Amino acid sequence: MPATIRDRFTSRSHAAARFLAQRGLLKPLVWSVTSVTILGRERLANVEDSYVVVANHSSHLDTPLIMGALPRRLARYLAVGAAADYFFDVWRRRGLTALFFNAFPVDRTGMNARGVSAKALLSRGVPLLIFPEGTRSRDGSLGAFKPGAAALASSAEVPVLPVAVIGAHAAYPRGSNWPKPGRLPVGVVFGEPLTAFPGELRSEFTERIRSAILTLTEENSDRILGVSATSRRIPEGDRS
């Protein structure tokens, strides 16, 4: 991988620019059009170095919600896997995606032709955010997971951080041009870090990750969505 590509992911100056873009522009915008609850950040206390965030995907809100919900120390160099055929084929989208999300291109055919190796990024200490469904859900339900994220984490011997994004599809469904009015409730729930068991098949690890995200969703949906945004009182530890 060329040095210019590697440096973009780990550069302190790029990280500083992303901080301004993410925390000064994007997060205030997303938090102003939705009502956000964050749960489970205490489970991230011992997470360090490289890791793979794996989440469900139903909305363009998912990535900014996750990056805004992560503690700054974990989000600083986080790189987001983005569809090469959509985010990297138009220079404007390519530039904005790199600025806001430290994105690397993922070929949805399963072959990364852009020369950016996700495993190489992990080896350099760059954590990754991957949506293993491969695309946004059309109805908000959790789809099948492709095995790439689990295989990557297993081969690199790094933990997976399962994350459930709740309510994003209702707030900003696929096909919409802007989030719905009224600051609808959305939530980000972090689960316990997972590592592959010795001898565990990729398919088994993939299903264990998916099951963890499904459980996080089922156990926390009522808490996040069950009370109107105007009447909710979020505990101080859950605020962002």
pLDDT at position 102 is 87
Amino acid at 155: S
Q: What is the DSSP string of 145-202?
A: PPTHHHHHHHHHT--EEEEEEESHHHHS-TT-SSPPSS-EEEEEEE---B-PPTT--H
pLDDT at position 87 is 54
Give CA–CA dist 67/224, Å, rounded.
19
CB atoms within 10 A of CB 221: 15
Give CA–CA dist 151/157, Å, rounded.
10
Place of tokens 């990024």: 121
Task: Name the pLDDT band for 14 (thresholds 50, 70, 90).
Answer: confident
User: Taking a C-beta distance cutoff of 8 angstroms, is the pair 5, 126 a contact?
Assistant: no
Amino acid at 62: D
Residue 10 pLDDT more than 90?
Answer: no
Share of the chain above pLDDT 90, in %: 64
What are the pLDDT digits (tens) for 85-138?
A: 655 565 566 667 777 888 887 765 554 445 568 888 999 999 999 999 988 999
Please, is 91 exposed, middle or buried when counting C-beta atoms within 10 Å of its C-beta (0-12, 13-18, 19+)?
exposed
H helices then E strands: how many in the chain? 11, 7
pLDDT at position 99 is 73
User: Which whole number is the average pLDDT over 218-230?
Assistant: 79
User: Taking a C-beta distance cutoff of 8 angstroms, is the pair 137, 169 a contact?
Assistant: yes
Helix (H, G, I), strand (E, B) or coil at 185: strand
Report the mean per-residue pLDDT for the chain: 86
pLDDT at position 44 is 97
* Domains located in the chain, CATH noted: 3-238 (3.40.1130.10)
Residue 144 pLDDT more than 50?
Answer: yes
pTM of the predicted model as reported, rounded to 2 decimal places: 0.85
Residue 238 pLDDT more than 50?
Answer: no
Share of the chain above pLDDT 70, in %: 81
CB atoms within 10 A of CB 178: 8
